[in-house]
Amino acid sequence: MTDTTTAPTIKDKVLGIPDEQKITPTIPVDIVILEAENLYHFAKDDKETLVESGLNTTLIEDLLPRITFLQDCQAAWMTVYNGKEITLEEWKKESEKAYELQAELLHSFRFAFRNEHKLTTQVNRIAEGSGHADLIQDLKDYASLGKANKEALEAINFDMQKLDLAITMSNSLLSLLGEVNGIRKDAGKLEKELRDRAYTYLKQAVDEIRDYGKYAFWKEEDKVKLYSSDYSRKIRERNS
């Protein structure tokens, strides 16, 4: 009979971490990775002493794939995160311009159509409401109303190109708002989940090795420092 069982991959092990054990990084991940890399070399040099104290030697070598997996997961998460930041910043910048145009159109239309009751009523109706969706629709409505009543706008020397600009802005903002809403709901959720689990998986090994290092070298203060987080120690010293 052929044995079809396969050893679990590192991703399988990471995904197998119970939810209650999952940890979100509390220090920068690049620091976590650097300290784990350093720990690998310290532990490799002290391997004999650590093993004599009871540490499973495979845990030392297992640090490297755990580090690599976290690096990959962090890169994937940052790609999504940075994309989110760019999109949100773009929305902020473009929507500010659109709100300014919306206000300008309202101001100009109310003046241009001030003697036309029917048109004034339409302008006031467009001006009702608020929010991003209303902004997007308002720009389209102003453009449509303006194009249908060019003479009154031309009489006040209104820049008619702004009607085309309103349509362009409305279309682009509609697409951009869809992206922003998608980001606020689910984008990056899976990437961050896997990153946090990968961090937890690495931290489990790091903590175990550090515990054994502190135990084995308890009489050597300089050695003990090698088996603790230099970053966390500096933070504690700064806050003390």
What is d(CA 33, CA 22) in angstroms, rounded to the nearest whole number? 17
Residue 138's pLDDT band (cuts 50, 70, 90): very high
Least confident range of 85-99, 139-153, 175-189 = 175-189
Asked if residues 34 and 219 have their Cβ atoms less than 8 Å apart, the reply is no
pLDDT digits (tens, 9 = 90+) for 82-94: 777 777 788 888 8
Amino acid at residue number 121: T
Token representation of residue 89:
């910043």
Token representation of residue 59:
């845990």
Residue 172's pLDDT band (cuts 50, 70, 90): confident
* pTM given for the model: 0.63
pLDDT digits (tens, 9 = 90+) for 37-78: 999 999 999 999 999 999 999 999 999 999 999 999 999 888
pLDDT at 126 over 80: yes
Report the sign of the C-alpha dihedral through residues 122, 123, 129, 134, in that order: positive
- Boundaries of every domain in the chain: 93-185
Asked if residues 192 and 77 have their Cβ atoms less than 8 Å apart, the reply is yes
Q: Of 142, 164, 151, give the one whose Cα is nearest residue 112.
A: 151
Calculate ∠ Cα 43-193-27, nearest 5°: 50
Q: Of 183, 181, 179, 202, give the one whose Cα is nearest residue 191.
A: 183
Q: Determine the distance from the C-alpha atom of residue 6 to the mean position of all C-alpha atoms in its chain, rounded to a whole number.
A: 35
Token representation of residue 154:
């031309």
Asked if residues 73 and 121 have their Cβ atoms less than 8 Å apart, the reply is no
H or E element, residue 233:
helix 230-239
| CA-to-CA dists, residue 159 to 46, 111, 143, 144, 166, angstroms | 77, 14, 12, 15, 12
Amino acid at residue number 30: D
What's the residue count for the chain?
240
Report the sign of the C-alpha dihedral through residues 103, 104, 106, 107, in that order: positive
What is d(CA 25, CA 21) in angstroms, rounded to the nearest whole number? 13
